[in-house]
Amino acid sequence: MAPGPRRGSACEQAFYDGISGCWQPSGVSTTAEDIRTKIKDYKIPFDSHFPNQNETRNCWLNYLDFHHCEKAMTTSEGGDVSMCEWYQRVYKSLCPVSWVSAWDDGRAEGAFPGKI
């Protein structure tokens, strides 16, 4: 169950709040500034979808979500890739660098196991 905006949605009104694990009501959009405040000092806040010590799934799903979001924003009209920044910050912070580079290479070669 991936957190974050639904695939293919415009995402311009509601924004997923990673902290409480629930949708913010429309009209309360989190800006880039807020993101920076929330993950000051590179601390990713607690996500209740991943309560345990093992962060593998957290890393994996945020990596997937960023790329889903990026694909949706770039292929739809009026899509704004900056909306995807949250996921990118989370995965870049959480995921081992070697995994990220292996996955990036995999995506380039068509060998990435996840569906994007």
Partner 1 sequence: MTHQTHAFHMVNPSPWPLTGAFSALLLTSGLVMWFHYNSATLLSLGLLANTLTMYQWWRDVIREGTYQGHHTPIVQKGLRYGMILFIVSEVFFFAGFFWAFYHSSLVPTHDLGGCWPPTGITPLNPLEVPLLNTSVLLASGVSITWAHHSLMEGKRNNMNQALLITILLGVYFTILQASEYFETSFSISDGIYGSTFFMATGFHGLHVIIGSTFLIICLLRQLNFHFTSKHHFGFEAAAWYWHFVDVVWLFLYVSIYWWGS
- Which residues form the interface with partner 1 (CB under 8 A)? 56-57, 60, 113-115
Residue closer to partner 1, measured from CB, 24 or 60: 60
The minimum distance between CB 61 and partner 1, in angstroms, equals 8
- As measured in angstroms, the least distance from the Cβ of 71 to partner 1 is 16
Distance of alpha carbon 51 from alpha carbon 66, whole angstroms: 21
In the complex with partner 1, which residue's Cβ is closer, 36 or 57? 57
Convert the chain into a string of H (helix), E (strand) and C (coil): CCCCCCCCCCCCCCCEECCCCEECCCCCCCCHHHHHHHCHHHCCCCCCCCCCCCCHHHHHHHHHHHHHHHHHHHHCCCCCHHHHHHHHHHHHHHCCHHHHHHHHHHHHHCCCCCCC
CB nearer partner 1, residue 27 or residue 53: 53
Least Cβ distance, residue 41 to partner 1 (angstroms): 27
Of the two residues 17 and 47, which places its CB atom closer to partner 1 in the complex?
47
Q: Min. distance of Cβ 50 from partner 1 in angstroms?
A: 13
